[in-house]
Amino acid sequence: MLHLGGPDPRSELAANADLSARELADLKTALDAIDARSRRAPWTREVLRLIEEHPGLRALDLAERLGRDKLPFKADVRRLKALGLTESLETGYRLSPRGKALMTHLNSTTE
């Protein structure tokens, strides 16, 4: 029988919005690395902004707004979730407190 072995570490990570300058820089570096390895144009910030602007919107609708297929889009969102930046809802996604803190930081600096 399968049972929960404790809290999901991603949830704990996502709930942490009290980020130091070093943590914010590390997250920005992680996003830059994901974008640099991407076969297409940089996408991480675009997806985060889309989720920020449209919390709860279905993955298919979000993907269509970017001209992308749903399944690869969902895989990308899972990469952002692994960094603690997004949370899955019953329908769609939202930024986690950590993701909101990062976006506030990114929006206040020139990239």
Sketch the domain layout of the chain as residue ranges.
43-111
Which class in CATH covers the domain with range 43-111?
mainly alpha
d(CA 111, CA 26): 15
pLDDT tens track for 17-30:
889 999 999 999 99
pLDDT of residue 61: 97
pTM of the model: 0.88
Indicate if the pLDDT at residue 41 is higher than 80. yes
d(CA 97, CA 30): 18
Do 96 and 84 meet the contact criterion of CB atoms below 8 Å apart?
yes
Q: Stretch 97-107: mean pLDDT, rounded? A: 95
pLDDT tens track for 46-95:
999 999 999 999 999 999 999 999 999 999 999 999 999 999 999 999 99
pLDDT of residue 13: 78
Do 15 and 99 meet the contact criterion of CB atoms below 8 Å apart?
no
Q: Return the residue matching tokens 């980020």.
A: 19
Do 38 and 47 meet the contact criterion of CB atoms below 8 Å apart?
no
